[in-house]
Amino acid sequence: MRGPFRAPERVPLPGTREEGAALARRYERRVWRLAIIGNVVGALPLLLGTIAGAGADIDPDHAMRHGVLNFVNALFYIALLAIVWIFVVRHVFEPTARWLSSARPAADTDRTSLRSVPRHLALLSIVGWAGGAAYTIPFSVLVIYRGFHVPPFIWVQYLVGEATGAATAVMLVYLLLERTLRPLRGLAQRGSASQPRTIGALPRLLMAFGVGVAGPLFALAVGLIGLNARQKAGVFPSIWVAIATVIFAGFVVAVVSAQAVTDPIETIRGGFRRLKDGDLGVELDVDEPGEIGQLQAGFNELVEGLRDRERMRDVFVRIVGKDVAQHALENASGLVAEPRQATAMFVDIIGSTPLAQSSSPQEYLTKLNSFFDVVVRSVEDAGGVVNQFQGDGALCIFGAPTDQPDHAVRALRASRELRQELDDFAQASGIQAVIGVSTGDVVAGHVGTAERYEFTVVGDAVNEAKRLAEEAKSAETKVLVSDATIHAAEGELANWHEAGSVHLRGRSAPTTTHTPNA
């Protein structure tokens, strides 16, 4: 929609003084046009003789002369008003133009000056209408009604018409300017925590009803006071014109008043639609003072809270892993311990102590992160979870916290693929690593207190996987898998062969191990 009823669009902060000056000139011209439109619409009933139309019927022979002179006089005054308002708008808008031309964020004084523009120009409209009355009444006495006895009620009708037109004009100027300056108010409010109050939605709509409907109808009623039957019959056509112009003026006031409320609400609805689609980058300009401005600010606070929550969730997921995070969120009411069968994989660096001694702490951390990146990608691709980073090693779990009937198959497949990835990584970095895999009964759950806990897996399978990783340092393939894991993974039997029995540290019975085929 174009013209004075078009929805205002969000404007960016000018990047240069030239852009700011151009923006200021554009809005200054728009403010001037809307100020003139508001005053003209308010004057329509008076221009068409809708209020004091009976006065033209003082002498039927002079009715046409009265109408023409009054219309020409009104056009002359409107033209003069348009010229004067160029300087009035420039003076009132000057502080805002200086701020825009500076291409800097708004200060409190800039925001105050901008908020005062609609109010000041609306009040100055009253001065213009008072000047019009002071000019038009002598003109009517000396030119239009010269030689006629004008009853006093004619001047009462005229003054009532002036007051009604002035009220309509003031209301329209205020609403039109407040609406068209919304983008600049939003621009000025960015980065500010203040939420200035102004006329609320309900008082605004009630005033719109008063000046757009009740006031003009009252003026029409006053216009019929003191008329005899012949005068009433003669003024009947002008009553229809009056009704039509009152309906038009009331419609304009109602539309502008409604848009002053619905436009920012539609913006908020659009923000919620974007939020529903997952766009947490949405942010509304607080460009509407009063209740709606508080609603806009509340929406921004809601989105900021969601962004904080999403950042915390992202950090949480990065720390513990997606599956563990989901498990924790679903079981956050207490410390849950679940016995189950799972497969543990432990991946450890060979010669970490000499590596740490030969590197600076920062270099050593960078190498560790590169190593862990290889491990995490391979394990998560197979559906496992990297449960803990233990110094220069990583404990990986298959079958917990999410149930996986084929956890042993997944672990063996992941260990074979990870072996290839680690061989490539060793050639590039010189860092070698070993893998130990074991399957058995474990307890998976949160370990700690109600105030501070973490998810982990404990059990003999975890201990055995660590011991197998230690033994794998002397194995040719650098991968050792327990016999229990091989028997639990029938789909992987063809890819493995027995590597003999070993006595693992801390265990009394020997453990049969397997290693991947070449």
- Mean pLDDT score across all residues of the chain: 78
Contact (CB, 8 A) for 434 and 348: yes
Inform me whether the pLDDT recorded for 435 exceeds 90: yes
Q: How confident is the model at residue 370 (pLDDT cuts 50, 70, 90)?
A: very high
Instruction: Give me the residue spans of the domains in the chain.
Output: 3-189+201-281, 335-516
Task: Report the DSSP pairing between strands 433-448 and 479-482.
Answer: parallel
Q: How confident is the model at residue 6 (pLDDT cuts 50, 70, 90)?
A: low
User: Per residue in 303-351, pLDDT tens?
Assistant: 888 888 888 777 666 666 666 666 666 665 444 678 889 999 999 999 8
Nearest to 424 by CA among 490, 491, 377, 381: 377
User: Per residue in 153-188, pLDDT tens?
Assistant: 566 666 666 777 777 778 778 888 888 888 888 788
Asked if the 335-516 domain carries CATH number 3.60.9.10, the reply is no
- Is the bond preceding 401 in cis, omega lying within 30 degrees of 0? yes
Three-state SS string across 260-316, please?
Answer: HHHHHHHHHHHHHHHHHCCCCCCCCCCCCCCHHHHHHHHHHHHHHHHHHHHHHHHHH
What's 400's DSSP letter? S
Nearest to 462 by CA among 435, 445, 446, 442: 442
Computed on alpha carbons and rounded to an integer, the radius of gyration of the chain in Å comes to 41
Q: How confident is the model at residue 55 (pLDDT cuts 50, 70, 90)?
A: very low
Q: Whole-angstrom Cα distance, residue 188 to residue 106? A: 5
Higher pLDDT, 344 or 144: 344
pLDDT given for residue 183 in this prediction: 84
The least confident of 104-108, 152-156, 367-371, 393-397 is 152-156
Residue 433: strand, helix, or coil: strand
Query: Rounded to two decimals, what is the model's pTM?
Result: 0.52
Contact (CB, 8 A) for 40 and 32: no
Inform me whether the pLDDT recorded for 52 exceeds 50: no
Contact (CB, 8 A) for 159 and 207: no
Which residues partner with 396 through β-bridges? 345, 386
The residue whose two tokens read 């913006």 is: 267
Q: Whole-angstrom Cα distance, residue 149 to residue 156? A: 15
User: Per residue in 251-295, pLDDT tens?
Assistant: 766 777 677 777 777 888 888 888 888 888 888 877 776 677 777
DSSP 177-243: HHHHTHHHHHHHHTT-------S-HHHHHHHHHIIIIIHHHHHHHHHTTT--HHHHHHHHHHHHHHH
Higher pLDDT, 381 or 1: 381
- State the DSSP H helix or E strand holding residue 443, giving kind and residue range, or none if neither: strand 433-448
Residues 6+ apart with CB under 8 A from 440: 341, 342, 459, 460, 461, 464, 482, 484
Within its chain, how far is the Cα of 245 from the centroid? 41
What's 504's DSSP letter? -
pLDDT given for residue 54 in this prediction: 41
pLDDT given for residue 214 in this prediction: 58
End-to-end CA distance of the chain: 73
How many Cα neighbours within 13 Å face the side chain of 106?
A: 26
pLDDT given for residue 57 in this prediction: 46
Contact (CB, 8 A) for 444 and 433: no
Inform me whether the pLDDT recorded for 201 exceeds 80: no
